[in-house]
Structure 1
């Protein structure tokens, strides 16, 4: 490159660096956007992120890549986004765990504060878990499951993919509302917990419907109920736990939302919000999300923040009552 051209590029870069972020937002996006997924490839969050990225590439006319940063119960990836430049080029597709539940459990061990360090763009989807058992388990409904647990206090085992995540809280909430006692068996990932339930090594598990569907269709496990307040529109044949009268207040789903680093320019957040919510109204994306066990849940940033506060208060009651702590 000619020295004069090189100097011109350097001067241009320096000039841009001196501009306020609000001015730079007018040309957003001018380069590739990265959506960080704080979990391994192939899981529910990863699938949602890739479906969303496909739509945003078209609407924003820019490359959108998915970067998996698993570790520390989702906090590694979420923390990386919290510390990224607030320019709209590094986003987080986060779940309830690393944005609402983990602060209740890890507290001062957290390397970021979601409410302070992440700017909510919109909720993306709400995903109920499903309660499944081995086909030969002596219960065909939540009522029968509770009755069995009452006759065998402390003997029933329930598997989840880790301590303090929505699945764990699913089991604790069922115990709180019905008075039963179960043993928690945490795993590292849904695949192993489903395999062990199918083998009869663990009595029940709470897991995403997308993960459980191959096992259900193959007759390896049976579905007793979903964890949402009402039956899911994509699986109306599966009752809700809340249909069992003593657990009428049961309502605990997982959910995913898109976040940017705090102090990202409002114009950038507005453009991202418009693009994502428009995508969530597309029939094809709605269909694909429902195939993954989710229902689209576009919200304004303010409504999403309020939703998170309400959900966090619900989680806090469960965490406190169950004495869930980071060990």
Structure 2
């Protein structure tokens, strides 16, 4: 069917990318050239996959090569990273992943991993960022962070937060929130975000920590209360939602991000041409609107050196927090 109602997300993204300032490349020109692979460690249809496909749909016109997305799903993104480590460093294989894969996998599993972030991978570019928030169920009656803290103190046996898995940014942000607020919150882990949201909507858990985009529409519909975001400043994705710091709870470590990596020893000219293409895509006039309105992320380009600094700073920030939590995990 040709009705816009039936157009896929992929078709919408293709249409949005059509205005890129790049020469047209025909199928005939692409034919015969090897395809560049982008590895994704999370499921098709999810947020990271949609981000990867936004770029994979735009890159062929700029690189003169086909670009395909390969999903290697499982283990919180580790499987895709395993494949990247084994790939030839020839400029034909890259990985797009959220910061949970390099940062928190490294800090939680350390030498249990098959790869080392600094030895085996080269950062190519930062692509987008997005905030993490905390929401409360309607049964708590808490419209903001302060009210939820008061509720938790009055209901210590019920006070808890849900998280889509243990050992990730959401988990440790919840622990940091409880510590900063001076309350005790037990952790209720889930296998992913959807079942956690279902339980929060049904008031089976009193609160949850996850990406803003997973909470916002339910907050707008009056089905839960978004207490705040864990960022330095309000997000352009939801400028009406306050930060936790504004409300007297100084937890500012919740901006998540998605980036691209290459195998170590990938030739610098190959990395440079991909960087240039990614920067062109993000600089296109329609990119900001498309990414913010359709994928709920903010364009946030960083080159390889800037990415390396971001990675190092994040590891240095979260390392002591995770060690202090006493959390241990085994592969």
Q: TM-score range by the shorter chain?
A: 0.7 to 0.9
The reply to whether residue 145 of structure 1 matches residue 148 of structure 2 is: yes
**2:35 paired residue number:** 32
Using the TM superposition, give the Cα deviation of residue 307 of structure 1 relative to its aligned residue in structure 2, in angstroms: 0.7
Structure-2 separation of matches of 1:76 and 1:175: 32
The answer on 1:47 being equivalent to 2:54 is no
Q: CA deviation at 1:310?
A: 0.4
Match of 1:263 in 2: 265
Q: Are positions 1:237 and 2:229 aligned together?
A: no
For 2:22, the equivalent position in structure 1 comes to none
Q: Which residue pairs with 1:171 in the alignment?
A: 174
Q: Which residue of 1 aligns with 2:23?
A: none
Alpha-carbon distance between aligned partners in 2 of 1:35 and 1:157, rounded to the nearest angstrom: 38
Aligned pair partner of 1:64 in 63, 67, 70: 67
Alpha-carbon separation, structure 1, partners of 2:171 and 2:75: 16
Q: CA deviation at 1:249?
A: 4.6
Instruction: Show CA shifts across 1:246-276 (max 9, x none).
Output: x235232211110000000000011111111
Asked if residue 307 in structure 1 is aligned to residue 295 in structure 2, the reply is no
Equivalent residue number for residue 5 of structure 1: none
Output the CA distance in 1 between the equivalents of 2:230 and 2:180: 13
Q: Aligned with 1:201: secondary structure? A: coil
State whether structure 2 residue 163 is matched by structure 1 residue 156: no
Of the three residues 297, 301, 317, the one matched with 2:300 is 297
**d(CA) in 1 for partners of 2:276, 2:110:** 33
CA distance in 1, matches of 2:68, 2:215: 28
Report if aligned partners of 1:133, 1:198 keep a CA contact under 8 Å in 2: no
Distance in 1 (CA, whole Å) between partners of 2:327 and 2:95 is 26
Q: Which residue of 1 aligns with 2:6?
A: none
1:221 to 219, 224, 229: 224
The equivalent residue for 1:114 is 117
Measured in 2, the distance between the counterparts of 1:151 and 1:236 equals: 31
Counterparts in 2 of 1:154 and 1:306: CA distance versus 1, 3 Å: farther
Give the paired residue count.
Answer: 298
Alignment partner for residue 203 of structure 1, among 200, 203, 206? 206
| Residues 177/221 of structure 1: CA separation in 2 closer, same or farther (3 Å cut) | same
Deviations 1:129-159 (A, max 9, x none): 1211223322111111122223333631211
Deviation string for 1:35-82 (max 9, x for gaps)?
111111121111111111112122112211111111112111111112
- 8 Å Cα contact 1:174/1:250 also seen in 2: no
Which runs of 5 or more residues in structure 2 are unaligned?
1-31
The CA distance in 2 between the partners of 1:57 and 1:173, in whole Å, is: 43
Is the Cα–Cα contact under 8 Å of residues 162 and 186 in structure 1 kept in the other structure?
yes
2:215 aligns with 212
Label 1:170 to 1:249 Cα distance change in 2 as closer, same or farther (>3 A). Answer: closer
The separation in 2 between residues aligned to 1:138 and 1:193, in whole angstroms, is 19
Match of residue 286 from structure 2: 284
Q: 1:249 to 1:131 in 2, by over 3 A?
A: closer
TM-score of the superposition, structure 1-length normalised?
0.87
Deviation of 1:216 after TM superposition, in Å, equals 2.7
Residues 124 and 261 in structure 2, CA contact (< 8 A), matched pair in contact too: yes
Q: 1:283: Cα distance to partner?
A: 2.7
TM-score by length of 2: 0.86
What is the Cα-based RMSD across aligned positions, in Å?
1.6
The answer on whether the counterparts of 1:242 and 1:251 sit within 8 Å (CA) in structure 2 is: no
Contact 1:166 1:253 in 2 (8 A): no
Match of 1:131 among 127, 134, 145: 134
